[in-house]
Chains A and B, each alone.
Chain A
Amino acid sequence: MGDVSRLLADYGPAFGQALFLTWKLTVLSFVPGFLLGMAVTVLRLLPLPPLRFVLTGYVEIFRNIPSVALLIFIVFALPDLEVVIDYEPSVILTLALVCSAFTADYLRAGINTVPGGQVEAALSLGMRPMRIIASVILPQALRAVVQPMTSLLIALMLSTSLASQVPFPGRELTALVSKIATDSAAGIPAFAVAATLYVATGLLIAWAGAALEKKARILR
């Protein structure tokens, strides 16, 4: 315990900043990733075979590529194609792309929980397909995916650790631990503090997700 208090005396503010950066990266990649995933889901519903083909490829690629491989490609290979993206946006872009692919996958499963009779009913009321997607299908699909999206958000939060793989001006939790471990012998307490912060954040997200799920769930 003495180790931890000495560590917090030395690095307390650094841990605060690192935790904040971890949260910031999580939110900044989740929001656009989620919106992009929703757009992909809707576009995949349209009866346009070329678009469907390409978007299915998009989802499969970004669901199956390891995030680090994608990040390294964006940071180190894209400059050779004369596309230079700064480090922090690169991390956010990587996570957002991966997040969008998983969102599209989960939302598709959520859409499948909507009974077909509802769509037929809406059609017979004279609603146009886009209107049905927006006001009948999507609201119910979104309610059905609260739980997987919560898991995705936690996984995304843990994935922000890959920001430690690029030379970043700010340090998130994992980068901070690796710095402390290289600079001093306080590696184990630093790891314990960082792990606690990660676990606490994860539990917080899980709790919020469970509360939302309770409100949003549709009992069929």
Chain B
Amino acid sequence: MSRPLDDILFGTPSPRAQAVTQVASVTAAVLLLLLAAGIVFRFHSAGQLDARFWEFFAWPTTWSFLGRGLLGTLASAAMAAVIALALGLVLLVGRLARLRLVRWPSIVAIEFLRGTPTLLLIYVCFLVLPPAGVKLSTYWMLTLPIALSTAAVVAEVYRAGVLAVPRGQTDAARSLGLTEAQGFFLVVFPQALRYIVPALVAQLVIVVKDTTFGYVVTYGELMQNAKVLIANYHALVPVYLVVALLYCLVNYAISKASKWLGRPMH
């Protein structure tokens, strides 16, 4: 019973239904093409198809500038992800601790970081901390808040994985003479990681999206560099379109990787 549902629904059409489907298909195609033509015409009538709005995309300097922005995005995202993976583990261990004095602060920290918008945390690093005497570079003003809020989410993802490992594994490890910590880090956690790798990779999409806020702190990531390009060429629509496309491609690739990692293995 692994046929997709829509296949069962429409899988065995009568000749009449087949004819109806074909007509509807062609109509839909025509309507969608008309819509696309309408959009292109709107671009044309607004003068957005003028060569001066697009010619600078033929210059290598434009692409190297956007490429540097993309590198800035990836540098921030990668660092945030690494910190989040490590800090998430710390939060998880605190969250699972038997000692209430450790467990409760961890729960509060996780709920707090998970429940506040990343943008608010960025504003704190950007507006609140400098007057209080804490000076961060723009890179850290962006990366640190993202890392903190991602760490809380990662801690919860870890926890879901750990809870999915059968309890017998812990018991077996303990009865073999491993200490509780050994049992956790050598037996339970590695198995938990296997369950959650796709979810962790999917989380990376959110990290990349969050780095878009880099322009708030004027860190040179893709969005910020796009703003600079726009200021130079007054070409809002083309630049934002290209940048949006770049973001979509990066995130689409990450999503695909996550699905691939999550494929059933036999």
* Residues of A participating in the B interface, judged by any CB pair closer than 8 Å: 45-51, 54, 60-61, 63-70, 72-73, 76-77, 80-83, 111-112, 114-117, 119-120, 123, 129, 132-133, 137, 154, 158-162, 164-165, 173-174, 177-178, 181-182, 185, 187-188, 191, 194-195, 198-199, 202-203
Contacts and interface: CB of A to CB of B under 8 A. Distances in A.
B43 A81 contact: yes
A177 B123 CA distance: 8
B263 to A, nearest CB: 15
Nearest to B252: A64
B55 interface: no
Nearest to A132: B9
Contacts of B117: 158-161, 174, 198
Given A63-B251, A123-B8, 16 more contacts: A47-B6, A48-B28, A50-B25, A64-B248, A73-B244, A77-B237, A117-B1, A137-B5, A174-B117, A177-B120, A178-B127, A181-B123, A188-B124, A195-B112, A198-B115, A199-B112
Interface string B209-253: 110110010000001000000000000110011011001100110
Interface string B88-127: 0000000000000000000000011011111110011001
**Chain B, interface size: which category?**
35 or more
B3 interface: yes
A98 to B, nearest CB: 10
30 contacts: A45-B5, A47-B21, A47-B25, A49-B25, A54-B32, A66-B210, A69-B247, A80-B237, A81-B237, A82-B45, A116-B3, A119-B5, A119-B8, A158-B115, A161-B117, A164-B123, A173-B120, A174-B120, A181-B124, A182-B127, A185-B131, A187-B127, A187-B128, A191-B120, A191-B128, A194-B116, A194-B120, A195-B120, A199-B112, A203-B115
Nearest to B119: A161
B170 interface: no
B132 interface: yes
A133 B241 CA distance: 36
Given A181-B127, A191-B120, A76 B240 contact: yes
Given A50-B28, A158-B117, A194-B120, A45 B6 contact: yes
B210 to A, nearest CB: 8
Interface of B: 1, 3-6, 8-10, 13, 21, 24-25, 28-29, 32, 42-43, 45-46, 48, 111-112, 114-120, 123-124, 127-128, 131-132, 205, 208-210, 212-213, 216, 223, 236-237, 240-241, 243-244, 247-248, 251-252, 255
A19 B123 CA distance: 18
A148 to B, nearest CB: 12
Nearest to A53: B32
Contacts of A182: 127
Nearest to B124: A191
B120 A161 contact: yes
Best-buried of B28, B43, B115, B205 by chain A (most CB within 10 Å) = B115
A82 B10 CA distance: 42
Contacts of B111: 199, 203
B182 to A, nearest CB: 34
Contacts of A68: 212-213, 223
Contacts of A66: 208-210, 212, 223, 247
A30 B199 CA distance: 24
A192 to B, nearest CB: 10
Contacts of B119: 161-162, 164, 174
Contacts of B244: 65, 69-70, 73
A47 B4 CA distance: 12
A38 to B, nearest CB: 16
A116 B8 contact: yes
Best-buried of A63, A80, A123, A165 by chain B (most CB within 10 Å) = A80
Best-buried of B48, B124, B255 by chain A (most CB within 10 Å) = B124
